[in-house]
Structure 1
Amino acid sequence: MSGLATRTLLRRSGSVFGAVRGAAASAGGVRAGLSAPVSIGTFKVAARFVATLKESDDPFAKLDSFTNRHNGSSAEGELEQMLRAVGVESLEELGNTTVPAAIQKKEDLRVGAAMTETEAIDYLKNMMSKNELNQNHIGMGYAGTNTPYVILRNLLENPAWYTQYTPYQAEVAQGRLESLLNFQTMVSDLTGLPVSSASLLDEGTAAAEAMAMCFAISRNKRAKFFVSEKCHPQTIAVVETRAKGFGIEVIVGDHATYDFSNGDTSGVLLQYPATDGSVEDFKDVIKNSHDNGTKVVLATDLLALTMLTSPGEIGADFALGNSQRLGVPMGYGGPHAAFFSTKEEYKRLMPGRIIGLSKDAQGKPALRMAMQTREQHIRRDKATSNICTAQALLANMAAMYGLYHGPEGLKKIAGRTHLMAQVFAEGAEKSALNVGSHKFFDTVKIEYPSTAEAQKVVDACAAAKINIRQMSDTVLTVSFDETHTAKDVTKLMGCFGIDGSAESFVGSVSGNGFAGTDFERKSDFMTHPIFNSFHTEHELLRYMMRLQSKDISLVHSMIPLGSCTMKLNSTSEMIPVTWPEVCMPHPFTPKEQLPGYYEMFAELEKDLADITGFYKVSLQPNSGAQGEYTGLMAIRAYHDSRGDVDRKVCLIPTSAHGTNPASAKMCGLDIVPIGCDELGNIDVAELKEKAEKYKDTLAALMITYPSTHGVFEETIKDICDTVHANGGQVYMDGANMNAQVGLTSPGHIGADVCHLNLHKTFCIPHGGGGPGMGPIGVAEQLAPFLPSHPVSPVVGASDKAMGPVSAGPYGSSAILPISFMYIKMMGSDGLKEATQYAILNANYMKKRLEGAYDILYTGNNGRVAHEFIIDIRPIKAASGITESDVAKRLQDYGFHAPTMSWPVSGTLMVEPTESESKAELDRFVDALLMIREEIRQIETGAMDRDNNMLKHAPHSPDVLVAEEWDRPYPREVGGYPAPWSKSFKFWPTVGRLDDVAGDRQLICTCPPMETYTEETA
């Protein structure tokens, strides 16, 4: 069919352009028609207000106010147009008629007046400059690292990488998927195990995931898990905390003497190298474990594995650890990407995400998240893990570090690090000090005969501004990393009373303490061409840019994901992340050296407590799912402290986030579902019936507010009162806090605990699938049970505190400045205004789409909260077009799809956030309206049900430029469906993926290069 015939056909059926209301015509210029050429000049970008402070007598007042830069529709006239479209006069009226009167807050927030961008930067800089950056030799699984500047500038500091969403829409995520596949391959090669995930949160929680996996493999019959006393103390503590919910008994002791013969131990966790630096031969303990049906988990160090025999080669079933030292700063605890690898037979039980190779509709190799529907939070109450956030951005950094240095470069870094430890040990021995082990990689243990002698060295190090580890009164350890120099080693040696310089002992050491032993690594690793091609800056830069160009992110267009809040991650918020005072401290640095960090923690906790209406906040949980888990464990501890040990029933609405039942299961709670009525609200009658039924065993209700259906339920206070009256606590999921801040709060509503997705409401970017943070706010009765930490005490932790839930005492501390900056720059009024704009934008889009699409749920006055659900099921019945077809077609229009098939199957859930301008909202709405007209051609029979632009979407360049074109619409309609796409076009680099093929033949390491050449030949 010719282009003219197609356009005539579209016009005859009632073109979309007639359907688009003139009053809301967008910057996309839809009046021009499909074929009209559009230039950049055609866009009508409204003039922005000059960002100013409120009226001031000071003529020199700073003009860089942040609120108008964060809230998108603040251009002149836009607000009035949108309010008119929604049918209200003001943002206040919109809030008052959308949020139920019973829960509206009368008092203002108390976070203070807004700071300008420069004021906030200066304020935080002055605060963090109080931190003291001493020479660090603490170790314990964390090491200094040199982040290559090409990676720092072009990945970590690049919004095209850090504003990407999790790669559920694989066609527009091929770049980060390739990078994560590189990470998996590097981990598999170094650990000697064939299957690796695309990263977990940290080493402690990865070890806890391994424990749960061992327990699941035993079919929950082996309820003991053994942990070597030579594991890192923070790892042991996190495992012990997690074990409580599963009912697993953790035994900590000497792995060499533990009796596995009883057949009741599901797994054993060993540290390789150990926390004291020693490298041990585990052959006997591994054989003993396997002979008795016990799985073996090795916590290890990727850099050390360039020199040491791999875990797979010595018989481990699982290997895990922290990839932090591969180019990711310590950041006072995070964020870092944990790694996890295992044998083929356990791949479908492994927590987290796996990137695998599939193919697209044209048979071209393409990547996707393999076994996507088996993600733990989708499996709900059948899950063994609640992992939802991976550390994708940090895994990508580690992967690029591996590519940049290559296997030979990593060996050199490892060798140099090992040499410094050997030099120190040689000097110590020649000075008659007692070196604890002669097999070590980067950490040397020194044992003293008395406390006084050890303390003398500790004091000397402190005076020299050097941090070391004091394992006990008489045992000290020192660790080395790639940032140290010979001068640093010499300075450290002087504190230990060692005569001579580092250079003076070099000639006395072998260079490789493992050479000729069973520990020496003899197998090759990272042999794939990808790890041997990008060792100059030009090469790596171009590779990163090639990957970046394959991925859609917020630098291209809005990402309208329901319940994921992809808002502005401003540059001014991101700048502090890479300040040395923020990113360099070791997580176990003595508190007195970091007054700036602790000042920020206290102020952020205070502000978040005010915003949520709670008594106290814990910053430790390092993901939203971790926050859920922590909140529920606090509830369990509260009930137990009162003797209510039988309170284990958790009521969860059927509409809840999938992590909710997964988290409840991990906490040992019994899940009782609560249905929803025809309007999408919780069935209050059923709730009251079940709360009464389980009044003697009710632990909690988990609820999201506004609801997962995007409405403010009027009965929320009654719901909370019902749960309390029957002895339970109310846990509120904080995913939808973006519709609450300043208007209401979880504490005001009646909740007892709420986790906060700082990577949603409070602007930490999603990073392609992580990092995230999930602090929790709690009512006064739950405060004593907030997490503690065994190594670095948490300020205000009580003697009733639960154990740690993250390896770091304050979780991923280095990204907390992002939320701190956001709150300071918005101030009390700005935070409230952001919520009002989020609600306005959602209702404005809903209003424009009504008539073309069915909007599934609305609250009173026909309003939605900050998000809404488009029902595609009637369209599917009439045309055969599914929500997936619409999602893929949106890629042709330059957009990421909304949340698909959740919380209701056959729907799309849209959340615009407050940060998008009216022009961008209109452009997205126009795209949906144009797609609706394309669907109408199918409904009327003008277009084939199976051979049409939606079923073939997305249209990749190779399809559009192919010599043959046998489709019943022009190439132009496939590739340039909207006028704006001719001015700027984000191209999906592959066609629609074959999900089934990817799951059937799981390839989760870099395939041979021939795979690509064969397919494209």
Structure 2
Amino acid sequence: MERARRLANRALLRRLLAAATAESPAAPSRGISTLAKGSRPRAPPRPAPHQYTTGRRPVSASALQPSDTFPRRHNSATPAEQAAMASECGFGTVDALIDATVPAAIRAPEMRFSGRFDAGFTESEMIEHMQRLAAMNRAYKSFIGMGYYNTHVPAVILRNLMENPAWYTQYTPYQAEIAQGRLESLLNYQTMVADLTGLPMSNASLLDEATAAAEAMAIGDVCGVLVQYPGTEGEVLDYAEFVRDAHAHGVKVVMATDLLALTSLRPPGEIGADIAVGSAQRFGVPMGYGGPHAAFLATSQEYKRLMPGRIIGVSVDSSGKPALRMAMQTREQHIRRDKATSNICTAQALLANMAAMYAVYHGPEGLKAIADRVHGLAGTFAHGLKKLGTVTVQELPFFDTVKVKVADANAIAQEACKNEMNLRVVDATTITVAFDETTTLEDVDKLFKVFNGGKPVNFTAESLVSEVSSSIPSSLVRKSPYLTHPIFNMYHTEHELLRYLHKLQSKDLSLCHSMIPLGSCTMKLNATVEMMPVTYPNFANMHPFAPTDQAAGYHEMFDDLGDLLCKITGFDSFSLQPNAGASGEYAGLMVIRAYHRARGDYHRDVCIIPVSAHGTNPASAAMCGMKIVAVGTDSKGNINIEELRKAAEANKDNLAALMVTYPSTHGVYEEGIDEICMIIHENGGQVYMDGANMNAQVGLTSPGFIGADVCHLNLHKTFCIPHGGGGPGMGPIGVKKHLAPFLPSHPVITTGGFPLPEKTDPLGTISAAPWGSALILPISYTYIAMMGSKGLTDASKIAILNANYMTKRLEKHYPVLFRGVNGTVAHEFIIDLRGFKTTAGIEPEDVAKRLMDYGFHAPTMSWPVPGTLMIEPTESESKAELDRFCDALISIREEIAEIESGKADVNNNVLKSAPHPPQLLMSDSWTKPYSREYAAFPAAWLRGAKFWPTTCRVDNVYGDRNLICTLQQGSQVAEEAAAATA
């Protein structure tokens, strides 16, 4: 039997070989050698193009493509899912849906990039490319100062906060019950700033020190004077008498200061300053060629309703326990619209959290030790220079910066560069040298040699230390305590800080948990490869005022990114300086104003703005000194073109601009947008397009193609910079050729748009650094470069597909407001909840809080239409996640129906009591008319993975009436901290 089996196997083998030979006669048989001993094997025939034959199975060209292509990782829906979703929407293909959605009149030709960018880099190629760019940068040791310092980023903070998606993918903490972790960290930041400045109130960060100073000066009708303490050239002056004189004449005093210095110097609040501003960068945040960095603004209670930015306050939840949330003041500025004193709607939350954790990690004693060391190194350097006798050291008191008079400042700066050190040249005979926590005694020895003409000196820095005393006079020495709260005095080991960081992040919902479907805010994937270059040392450790030839990698990226953004938007030039969307709005309007003034049209100051526009739009126009003319919308939510035409014609002699968002804030591609642009141009105005909804334009149309003259881009929306719990963001502006000469520049390092126009007449400076928050530009650059032109176009298509698919699933349960002429929506849509107030007593907030029990962040609530939810799925969410969110909303609709039918009580039901945190569910008594299980697990998927809100519903009104914005001794946070170490 065994022999018969072997014969049968051989027969089968012969048949298979014969069949293979018949199909490929030139191919040698496989498995059995037919070569004579010593003969040379014949080479197999070359396979047909794009095909290699292995046996009987052809291999397609696509199978040989790299395995790490990026678009398929970002654009989540598979081709099969896309086809099914398009069919569900009533279209045969995705392209048919797009054709029905985007007006033909504004469809742009196919977008193509130049060179390697068109096809897109693979992930591994991108990493190699960014490593090459980083290597082109030379991060010399910086002694430039001017508000930017090298710092040691504690590794525990770098890895577990800055590089942690549970921290950097969070949204702004508008939904407090699922944001208690970052709210506590930001409250720590406010407490840190208030303690160190000696002023009772602080916001939760601004964009940078320069804009914070501008915001401070604009708080009052007559603000008065701004002083620097310490000064940029190092001097520490006693402003006490100056402040008294200013107050005697009714003048307010703003003091720009340094947090590290304030551990040693008498704080501004004790000197009498009304407002203190500055940057928290040197508290563990890399220089990053200019940003992002958290700026601070601290003041007295007098200005609490005028303060710009966000303020975190203490309130209570529905059970009476303390809970945190953003104060009402945060929202008032945009409610005021054209009466606002600030247009800032974001912060630098991620960087503020880093700075706060730096203070928590080091504590008051650790910060004072760092400050003493920095001051000691500066004093040692000054003493050594005096010992040399070849230069003159400024005799004024200083903290970290020494001012030196020399024969030839440029020669010394060049000698320093040879030793890979950068100094600040103030003028031909003046140099300043700023010290920081990374400076060593060895660095001081190198500096001595530099100032000695490159020749060795006969002493060392270490030998001088015992001879050095503080230069700060006793009248300016700080005597008051700071950072006395337990939070700043218990997490000084890495293990404890790690646990504290993890405790806070576990309280917060982020993109690590589920989709965040916020209309207009575009919470999409922030890919790991995009984030990696941010912490490369040669990107992170560059001073923004370093010689530009030391930043060749940055500048190659700036050039390429500018070209790519021009291609995407249809503009001719870009400025990368504005470091937030609101800054971009302001910059764009200022460019328009500069253009009109260059033509002698100083009288053009009218800005037309639809009533549906973002609150920042009228605020920005007001800040630019423009008069706002509002125009309404029609019954379908579109801009009323005839009303706009009349407004433009009535103001044609003074018309400066129109501010418009496209697609509209109602989530619709308006058919008449090209006509609207034409009307404005015919009446002498310029068109400013808000780039908030660029996610629905890329590759399909563009602001420049539509007819806009200027547009800002929210890189933290469309182009993947993460929101970081409320910031950072970036708001570069693109312009047509005629506006390019007026783009922002900088007084320290000349800059402009990319590409640079031949003749420039710039409007001035918009941000503190020449290229804004340069350190986060690699994120958008790598996203665009990996996606390629087709990947980006597909992203727009899938974003539109996802929104229409969700609309189709939800329209049977909720009214959908506003659609295009063919019944479709853009990349976002609005569901109407207003009727439920009548039928069930349910408000949008009730639905938002109940969504937390399902493990989701709410969509944008009650904007742009009160009583609605605006939903944006983005292209990077999978069909399964879209379905899960739709299932949650459908389930909530059924819960509303139970109230409508009388099965559930109108005042005591699962929506009105939402969210349901563990402490509520685990309480000894349960008096709700529904079960604990129904409250906690309304959907089956929650049993496998449940995200728990950490508080009951927060009482916003109570917190606004009792504004507390710093940590309080004896508070619940303090008690929890003390118990943790007991």
Please, what TM-score do these two structures have when normalized by structure 1? 0.88
Mark the CA change 1:698 to 1:933 in structure 2 (over 3 Å): closer, same or farther: same
Q: Give the conservation status (yes or no) of the 8 Å contact 1:427–1:499.
A: no
Match of 1:665 in 2: 622
- Give a deviation string over 1:810-861, Cα, whole Å, max 9, x none: 0000000000000011000000000000000000000000121000111121
Q: Specify which of 484, 490, 505 is matched with residue 464 of structure 2.
A: 505
- Give a deviation string over 1:402-447, Cα, whole Å, max 9, x none: 0000000000111111111000000011112211134111000001
Q: Give, in angstroms, the shift of residue 1014 of structure 1.
A: 8.8
Q: Select between 1002-1011 and 438-447 the one with higher mean Cα deviation.
A: 1002-1011
Whichever residue aligns with residue 427 of structure 2, its letter is: S
- Give a deviation string over 1:82-113, Cα, whole Å, max 9, x none: 11111112222221110000000123232511
State how far apart, in whole Å, the 2-side matches of 1:59 and 1:900 are.
45
State how far apart, in whole Å, the 2-side matches of 1:59 and 1:866 are.
32
State how far apart, in whole Å, the 2-side matches of 1:1012 and 1:311 are.
28
Q: Specify which of 82, 86, 97 is matched with residue 94 of structure 1.
A: 97
Q: Give the conservation status (yes or no) of the 8 Å contact 1:649–1:669.
A: yes
State how far apart, in whole Å, the 2-side matches of 1:466 and 1:1002 are.
47
Q: Give the conservation status (yes or no) of the 8 Å contact 1:352–1:375.
A: no
Q: Give, in angstroms, the shift of residue 373 of structure 1.
A: 5.9
> What pairs up with 1:629-778 in 2 under 5 angstroms?
629-778=586-735
State how far apart, in whole Å, the 1-side matches of 2:975 and 2:504 are.
21
Q: Give the conservation status (yes or no) of the 8 Å contact 1:709–1:857.
A: yes
Match of 2:860 in 1: 899
Match of 1:454 in 2: 409
Mark the CA change 1:73 to 1:308 in structure 2 (over 3 Å): closer, same or farther: same
Q: Give, in angstroms, the shift of residue 704 of structure 1.
A: 0.2
Whichever residue aligns with residue 740 of structure 2, its letter is: A
State how far apart, in whole Å, the 2-side matches of 1:347 and 1:327 are.
28
- Give a deviation string over 1:500-547, Cα, whole Å, max 9, x none: 22112111102x333x61010000000000000100001000000000
Q: Give, in angstroms, the shift of residue 1009 of structure 1.
A: 2.9
Match of 1:83 in 2: 86
Q: Give, in angstroms, the shift of residue 946 of structure 1.
A: 0.5
Q: Give the conservation status (yes or no) of the 8 Å contact 1:378–1:659.
A: no
- Give a deviation string over 1:443-488, Cα, whole Å, max 9, x none: 000012x4xx333322211222210000011100000101111111
Match of 1:69 in 2: 73
Match of 2:418 in 1: 463
Match of 2:398 in 1: 440
Mark the CA change 1:119 to 1:56 in structure 2 (over 3 Å): closer, same or farther: farther
Mark the CA change 1:442 to 1:845 in structure 2 (over 3 Å): closer, same or farther: same
Match of 1:382 in 2: 339
Secondary structure of 1:351's match? coil
- Give a deviation string over 1:709-747, Cα, whole Å, max 9, x none: 000000000100000000000000000000000000000
State how far apart, in whole Å, the 1-side matches of 2:372 and 2:950 are.
41
Mark the CA change 1:460 to 1:652 in structure 2 (over 3 Å): closer, same or farther: same
Q: Specify which of 176, 179, 182 is matched with residue 185 of structure 2.
A: 179
Match of 1:475 in 2: 430
1:141 aligns with 2:96: no
Q: Give, in angstroms, the shift of residue 1013 of structure 1.
A: 8.3
Q: Specify which of 306, 310, 335 is matched with residue 263 of structure 2.
A: 306
1:948 aligns with 2:904: no
Match of 1:267 in 2: 224
Q: Specify which of 437, 442, 445 is matched with residue 487 of structure 1.
A: 442
> What pairs up with 1:14-53 in 2 under 5 angstroms?
none
Q: Give the conservation status (yes or no) of the 8 Å contact 2:856–2:885.
A: yes
State how far apart, in whole Å, the 2-side matches of 1:785 and 1:1015 are.
54
- Give a deviation string over 1:275-299, Cα, whole Å, max 9, x none: 1001001122111111111110010
Mark the CA change 1:991 to 1:324 in structure 2 (over 3 Å): closer, same or farther: same
Mark the CA change 1:799 to 1:101 in structure 2 (over 3 Å): closer, same or farther: closer
Secondary structure of 2:825's match? coil
Q: Give the conservation status (yes or no) of the 8 Å contact 1:624–1:756.
A: yes
1:128 aligns with 2:128: no
Q: Give, in angstroms, the shift of residue 133 of structure 1.
A: 1.5
Match of 1:212 in 2: 218
State how far apart, in whole Å, the 1-side matches of 2:450 and 2:101 are.
66
Q: Give, in angstroms, the shift of residue 375 of structure 1.
A: 3.8
Mark the CA change 1:741 to 1:799 in structure 2 (over 3 Å): closer, same or farther: closer
Q: Give, in angstroms, the shift of residue 60 of structure 1.
A: 6.3
Identity %: 62
What value does the CA root-mean-square deviation take over the aligned residues? 1.5
Whichever residue aligns with residue 497 of structure 2, its letter is: L
Whichever residue aligns with residue 445 of structure 1, its letter is: K
Which of 1 and 2 has higher RCO (CA within 8 Å, sep 6+)?
1
Match of 1:877 in 2: 838
Mark the CA change 1:326 to 1:373 in structure 2 (over 3 Å): closer, same or farther: closer
Secondary structure of 1:107's match? coil
Q: Give the conservation status (yes or no) of the 8 Å contact 1:493–1:499.
A: no
1:587 aligns with 2:544: yes
1:615 aligns with 2:572: yes
Secondary structure of 2:325's match? strand
Match of 1:43 in 2: none
Q: Give the conservation status (yes or no) of the 8 Å contact 1:569–1:763.
A: yes
1:577 aligns with 2:538: no
- Give a deviation string over 1:782-804, Cα, whole Å, max 9, x none: 10100000001115375410111
Secondary structure of 1:108's match? coil
Match of 2:39 in 1: none
1:105 aligns with 2:112: no
Q: Give the conservation status (yes or no) of the 8 Å contact 2:574–2:734.
A: yes
1:189 aligns with 2:186: no
Structure 1 residue ranges, 4+ long, deviating more than 6 angstroms after superposition:
1013-1017
Q: Give the conservation status (yes or no) of the 8 Å contact 2:740–2:760.
A: no
State how far apart, in whole Å, the 2-side matches of 1:939 and 1:828 are.
50
Q: Specify which of 159, 167, 175 is matched with residue 161 of structure 1.
A: 167
Larger Rg: 2
State how far apart, in whole Å, the 2-side matches of 1:698 and 1:456 are.
53
Q: Select between 869-878 and 666-675 the one with higher mean Cα deviation.
A: 869-878
Q: Give the conservation status (yes or no) of the 8 Å contact 1:364–1:1015.
A: no
Gaps of 5+ in 2: 1-58
State how far apart, in whole Å, the 1-side matches of 2:417 and 2:62 are.
48
Whichever residue aligns with residue 902 of structure 1, its letter is: W
Gaps of 5+ in 1: 1-54, 219-265
Match of 2:356 in 1: 399
Mark the CA change 1:944 to 1:784 in structure 2 (over 3 Å): closer, same or farther: same
Q: Give, in angstroms, the shift of residue 62 of structure 1.
A: 2.3
1:978 aligns with 2:933: no
Match of 2:847 in 1: 886
Match of 2:897 in 1: 936
Please, what TM-score do these two structures have when normalized by structure 2? 0.91
1:805 aligns with 2:778: no
